[in-house]
Amino acid sequence: MNNSFYDILTKKVTNNEALSQEDAVRVLDLGQLETLELLQVAYQFRRQYFGKMVTVHILNNVQNGMCPEDCRYCAQSASSSAPIEPYGMKSDEEILAEAAEAHDSGAMRYCMVFSGTGPSYERVDHLVRLIKQIKQRHKIEVCVSAGAVDRNQARQLKEAGLDRLNHNLNTSEKYYHHICTSHTYADRLQTLQAAHAEGLAVCSGVIIGMGENAQDLYEMTYNLRELGAESIPVNFLIPIPGIALKEARGLSPEYCLRVLCLFRLMNPKAEIRMAAGREIHLGSLEPLGLFAANSLFLQGYLNTRGAADVRTLTMIKDAGFTISSEIPMDKLLSRSSGPMLPEGLKSLDELRPFKVRE
Ligand code: SF4
């Protein structure tokens, strides 16, 4: 019976049909299906659309902390007492140096992330100037995550050469009030619709482990499918001490793998990213995640460190994958160094490596 269910999944995805909620519940249920067989189904589509390529992204926390919103998963929110180092927008000099560094580290995409509700019109003008300079200097795609934007702002960013706009949906509509009360799911959706309407590719992710159930998860995959999100970062909650959500709920390495499989099956052509928390929650199954996901972050996340570059690149190579970069993998590996598993919050020097010290 189970064998035929794998065939049904394959047939539905091949026919561009969404899985049903019942299918999704089975995919996520550890007692019902074999994880490796499920992964094989997901891998067929990962291979069909992305071959053995892994896209590497590097995040730059352009502005840190001081956010008035109350997102319960976020160390930068008004409700957090996490000991992060807040700072206003970095200088252009720092941002451009970090873009160069991202390019030289093999990243295909450089993401500038701002804390806060959304950018002012002055901030958008500033971003326009920065995007143009980065695109002139490097063959790298640029993504911005700056909170809520309207259509005019999205148009300006698109005209400057922005490739993608990130704004995460995070969870399902009906679960949203459990993770944030200062804005709504509809607010978030509006920004994504504005970005798409202006021709920007949309990156919109989720955070797993905040107490959502299988139906919520299905709804997230379905809504991102309907939205046509080109990129979906799948984050697994990192319960940083001081944030309102004290623990990640219901995550095991096998479950996290199935979540990645479900996102691949529901969004077969999307760039599915193993994002924050991959090291902690996938554990020793992390390399298997590459058979469903085709993308990851290098150099950690917004406020927390990730595995050292050398470990991540070695994992990609050992699993038989390679990265989309102008710089050959072996050259990157020979340059990479650092401890294999650095942990904890990033220091100010890590967040601002190119800050000009007085
Ligand atoms: S997720 Fe964004 S909007 Fe929410 S608190 Fe963090 S920085 Fe602010």
- Express each pLDDT in 109-119 by its tens digit: 888 988 889 99
Nearest in space to 332 (alpha carbons), one of 312, 306, 307 = 312
Domain span including residue 304 = 52-252+268-351
Contact 170, 137 (CB under 8 A): no
Contact 28, 262 (CB under 8 A): yes
Contact 265, 13 (CB under 8 A): yes
Give the mutation target among 59, 63, 66, 71 for probing the ligand 1 site: most ligand atoms within 8 A of CB. Answer: 71
What confidence tens digit (pLDDT) does each residue in 185-216 have?
999 999 999 999 999 999 999 999 999 999 99
Q: How many domains is the chain built from?
A: 1
Alpha helices in 51-120, H assignment, sequence order = 92-104
24 lies in some domain: no
What confidence tens digit (pLDDT) does each residue in 323-348 have?
887 777 787 787 765 555 556 777 77
Under 8 Å CB-to-CB from 64, ≥6 apart: which residues?
76, 84, 85, 86, 87, 115, 302, 303, 351
User: Which atom of ligand 1 is the closest one to the Cα of 75?
Assistant: 6
Cβ of 63 below 6 Å from ligand 1 = no
Under 8 Å CB-to-CB from 285, ≥6 apart: which residues?
253, 254, 256, 257
Contact 169, 191 (CB under 8 A): no
194 lies in some domain: yes
38 lies in some domain: no
Least confident range of 113-117, 155-159, 218-222: 113-117
259 lies in some domain: no
- Answering whether pTM is above 0.75, one says yes
32 lies in some domain: no
Alpha helices in 32-162, H assignment, sequence order = 35-50, 92-104, 121-137, 151-160
pLDDT at 179: 96
76 lies in some domain: yes
126 lies in some domain: yes
98 lies in some domain: yes
pLDDT interval class at 305 (50, 70, 90): low
Cβ of 205 below 6 Å from ligand 1 = no
Which of helix, strand or coil describes residue 58?
strand
pLDDT at 29: 94
Under 8 Å CB-to-CB from 112, ≥6 apart: which residues?
60, 62, 95, 127, 130, 142, 143, 144, 145, 146
Give the mutation target among 76, 80, 238, 302 for probing the ligand 1 site: most ligand atoms within 8 A of CB. Answer: 76
pLDDT interval class at 357 (50, 70, 90): low
Ligand 1 centroid–CA 218 distance in Å is 24
The domain spanning residue 291 has which CATH number?
Answer: 3.20.20.70
- Inform me whether the pLDDT recorded for 269 exceeds 60: yes
pLDDT at 25: 97
